[in-house]
Amino acid sequence: MKRAAMLGLGELADHRLVICLGPGGVGKTTLSAALALNAAVGGRAVDVMTVDPAPRLLDALGLSAGNSATQMVSLAGLGAHRGARLRALKLDAKMTFDALIERHAPSAVARDAILGNRIYRNLSTALAGVADYMAMEKLIELHDDSTTGLIVLDTPPAREAIDFLDAPRRMLELLDSRAVSLLGVGRSASRGRWSMLDLAARAVLAAFDRLTGLHLLSDVQAFVRSFDGMYAGFADRAAQAQALIRDRQTLVVLVTTAEAERVDQAGEFIDALSAMGIRLGAVAVNRMMAPLPRASTIAKADLPAALKHKLKRNLDDFGALKRRETAALAQLRERVPSGTRLIAAPELGREPRTLDDLVEIARNLIAH
């Protein structure tokens, strides 16, 4: 194995955005924090954001887990280079949505109508898809900040990460869909052309309103129409997010461990990214076992025979684990696309609890 340039300093120098994704429980958030911290210590201005509702990223960086505002990470005592800066935040989807309305509403009246609408209040907090799109909106905001040199994004665990990356496409489809047209704001509606299916659907919804007294159709129509003048902006931002994910300056890192089940899950991620046309830049295998000593080393050691016997037995047990790890790693290599970097983060030997631990994880990355 050959030691690689530090991913936080060398290989990340050509990238503006790093997206970390992978199965749950593989240390994705810890590695995201480690990469961001190491790049910052090296002198870059870094923003790290987690889309995961769990506060693990903020915990790893020693920050307040209940605070959704941007927080500054102290780099004191880490030997940070000149220009170093690290900010961290956990996505607050509703706060981001509210800010989006504040920024893009055509008037104060339109803004107040949307923010006060009962459908908006539920929509902005309840739907996962809204959170995904708001994360993209926040990502664009960070990317547009000229003072930020690198963004590290910690995505939700497991399959939710793929849904997150697919959010811009889904938003573009929604804005171009019959559902929006049906509610009176789409292109076909604005041109006055309705199909028989559209008219039938509206008739059914209207009948439902009359029977229930819920005024669902009129309330939803009023809500959707309150966004008049903003849909083009939403579509532009979604297209911008879609392009950003696929930009050459964006590095997508798949984090996994060398276990058969995790390798299978990593393969599913690789297939999904390929189907979406997203280039995988690196696969990081976390918690790799350290090289084991030879049995002859124990035999030659000046130790009591009973202790040598115990050490030999332990070595045999660890040897079996190492062989399984090696087999899983070989299986992973077969799944990794040609040209994709394969790197490993050795097992730290303890639970990472300090910023120094995170820097050590990043600096011990090795190329396979």
Rounded to an integer, what distance in angstroms lies between the CA atom of residue 283 and that of residue 257?
10
Report if residue 287 sits inside a domain.
Answer: yes
Residue 92: per-residue pLDDT: 81
Cα 94 to chain center, whole Å? 18
Stated as kind and residue range, the H or E segment containing 201 is: helix 196-212
258 with 328: CB under 8 angstroms? yes
Q: In this structure, is residue 122 part of a structural domain?
A: no
Instruction: For 13-44, write each residue's pLDDT tens digit.
Output: 678 999 999 998 899 999 999 999 999 999 99
Residues 6+ apart with CB under 8 A from 188: 178, 181, 194, 195, 198
- pTM, to two decimals: 0.81
Numbers of helices and strands, H then E, in the chain: 17, 10
**Residue 349: CB atoms within 10 Å:** 7
Domain of residue 99: give its range: 2-106+127-172+240-293+327-367
Residue 146 lies in a domain: yes
Q: What is the mean pLDDT of the chain?
A: 82
Q: Are 348 and 34 spatial neighbours (Cβ–Cβ below 8 Å)?
A: no
Q: Is residue 270 part of a domain?
A: yes
Structural domains in the chain (count): 1
CATH number, residue 24: 3.40.50.300
pLDDT in tens, 143-159: 999 999 999 999 887 77
Q: Given this model, what pLDDT does residue 240 score?
A: 92
Give the integer Cα–Cα distance in Å for 176 and 227: 14
**Which pLDDT belongs to residue 212?**
45
Q: Classify residue 198: in a domain, yes or no.
A: no
Q: Do residues 224 and 185 lie in contact, with contact meaning Cβ atoms separated by under 8 Å? A: yes
pLDDT tens by residue, 230-251: 777 888 888 999 999 999 899 9
Q: Check if the beta carbon of residue 186 is closer than 8 Å to that of residue 180.
A: yes
- Contacts of residue 229, defined as CB under 8 A and 6 or more positions apart, other chains included, come to 106, 110
Q: What is the pLDDT of residue 180?
A: 57
Low-confidence ranges of the chain (pLDDT < 50): 1-9, 185-194, 196-197, 199, 208-209, 211-214
Is 347 in a helix, a strand, or coil? coil
In a domain, 121, yes or no: no
356 belongs to a structural domain: yes
Per DSSP (E only), the strands in 136-261 are 150-154, 250-257
The pLDDT score that the predictor gives to residue 118 is: 76
- End-to-end Cα distance, the chain: 6
96, part of any domain: yes
Tokens of 264: 């299978």
Query: Which pLDDT value is given to residue 219?
Result: 66
- Classify residue 147 as left (phi > 0), alpha (psi -120 to 50) or beta: alpha
